[in-house]
Amino acid sequence: MSEQSLSNWVGQLGVAIFVYRGGVCVDVSPAAEGLTGYTRSELLPAGLLKVVDPSTFGAGGFDPRMFDPAGPISGAEVPYRTKRGDRRWALLGAAGLTDLERASATAGQPMTVMTMLDITLKKRAETLQDALYRISAAAHQAGSLETLYEAIHSIIGQLLPADNFFIALADPDDDLLRFVYFVDQNDPPPAPRRRGRTLTEYVLATGEPLIAPPPVLDELHRRGEVDLVGSPAEDWLGVPLKSLGRTIGVLVLQSYTKGVNFGEDDQEILEFVSTQIAMAIERKRAEKVLKETGERYWRLFERNLAGTFLAKRNGKILEINAAFSELFGYEKPSEILKLSLWDLLGDAARRELQRPRLGSQRSISLTADATGKDGRPLRLEIAAAQLPDGQPSGEELEGTVVRAG
């Protein structure tokens, strides 16, 4: 097959084709130009290595003969970058070459014809679905907010260039912007601050995503909408974190590397996962508040000098503090938990506390006679309240007990 006839044949193909002779790319189809954004002359002689990183193929590098029908690889999914800088995915394979192989063998020149099929949409759908699952799992499994932020960074790093990444959250209590997670090769983490006029606050205020390479940043600065802070970046991408219609913070990616830029596809990916990230952060923040509130309540419960109890109306004791145990002469709360509340407070208290009550009458104070562990009589002042949980049979009693007089 002559070079001219080969070129004519390749030009008629509607798929992206890369033709190799002796490991050198000698021709590409028009579809390859359309897929990569490079012209034929720009693609030759590098071929696929113009858009695919050689390290993708392992330590041995790229050899088109690997993809021959008789070779070790029939197809491979690989990332590639277009001339415009977009990161995409392709399925590489070898064309069926029975006739061509015979023709090229006649010419004495071994030839490999490789196909390149763009599978970005398929790969993105798979990747995003996996990312959403892992973000949701991280929200449940992370032991702290800090661990969750690290997991989010790792997940995003598998979708986009995320060497420089931070999460900024608006604190509704003091109106401060807090950089709760910050990884940057040039700048240290900023301290919490009042909202200013940086790109981060711009996204926070507008609630809209922003790609800000230097020309965009300069224009915003010229219009007086943002101030220039931090190290100059090659590119900047920020998306708002939204929960229940509120913008609670901003996710930001920065690039200091020439040629590593962000496009609309990157923005769409970050926007897509941002909703799940916002939900995960809100969930973890709520867990933290609940845990801290519970710990404060428990400290107050334990430190209360009055005997404090929580029990079912049937007398099953759910919780007591140390003062309650001491009042009845028990060394360990676990001993009392085996008893009924009515074993301790007596029948008179049981009748009053079990009587159904409504509204403000749910609270009651009374004096009752009881008996301690050693048989000694106890005169007690009891203050309790019935706590409804939606079912009368499941109402709980919460109260305090002290010695009368």
pLDDT at 211 over 80: yes
Tokens for 230?
A: 């931090």
Tokens for 261?
A: 């830029």
Cβ proximity of 231 and 256 under 8 Å: yes
Residue 189 is classified by DSSP as: P
Mean pLDDT (the chain, rounded): 83
Provide CATH 3.30.450.20 ranges for the chain. 3-118, 304-403
State residue 1's pLDDT score: 45
Average confidence (pLDDT) over 240-249 = 90
Contacts with 145 (C-beta within 8 Å, 6 or more apart), sequence order: 180, 281, 284, 285, 288
**Other CB atoms within 10 Å distance of the CB of residue 276:** 20
Query: How far from 18 is each of 93, 97, 111, 128, 299, CA to CA, in Å?
Result: 10, 13, 11, 30, 71
10 Å CB burial of residue 258 (0-12, 13-18, 19+) is exposed
Query: What is the side-by-side order of every strand in the sheet holding 87-94?
Result: 24-28, 16-21, 111-118, 87-94, 75-81
Architecture of the 124-295 domain: 2-Layer Sandwich (3.30)
Q: How far apart are the first and last CA of the chain?
A: 113
State residue 361's pLDDT score: 60
Q: How do beta strands 16-21 and 111-118 pair?
A: antiparallel
Using CA atoms of 267, 271, 277, 283 in order, give the dihedral in degrees to the nearest 10: 150
Question: Could you tell me the pLDDT band of residue 72, with boundaries at 50, 70 and 90?
Answer: low
Question: Could you tell me the pLDDT band of residue 300, with boundaries at 50, 70 and 90?
Answer: low
**Other CB atoms within 10 Å distance of the CB of residue 289:** 10
pLDDT at 234 over 90: yes
Provide CATH 3.30.450.40 ranges for the chain. 124-295
Size of the chain in residues: 405
Residue with tokens 């029975």: 98
Q: Which of 311, 318, 323, 328 is nearest to 378 (CA)?
A: 328
Q: Which helix (H) or strand (E) holds 317?
A: strand 317-320
pLDDT at 32 over 90: yes
Q: Which residues pair with 366 in a beta bridge?
A: 382
More confident residue, 289 or 257: 257
CATH superfamily of 304-403: PAS domain (3.30.450.20)
State residue 254's pLDDT score: 96
Residue with tokens 């590397």: 257
CA distance 47 to 61: 14
Q: Which amino acid, 392?
A: P
Cβ proximity of 21 and 110 under 8 Å: yes
Using CA atoms of 194, 197, 203, 206 in order, give the dihedral in degrees to the nearest 10: 100
State residue 296's pLDDT score: 66
pLDDT at 200 over 90: yes
More confident residue, 307 or 291: 307
**Other CB atoms within 10 Å distance of the CB of residue 294:** 11
Average confidence (pLDDT) over 332-344 = 86
pLDDT at 99 over 60: no
Architecture of the 3-118 domain: 2-Layer Sandwich (3.30)
pLDDT at 5 over 50: no
128-142, 189-203, 292-306, 323-337: which has the minimum mean pLDDT?
292-306
State residue 375's pLDDT score: 86
pTM here?
Answer: 0.60
Question: Could you tell me the pLDDT band of residue 155, with boundaries at 50, 70 and 90?
Answer: very high
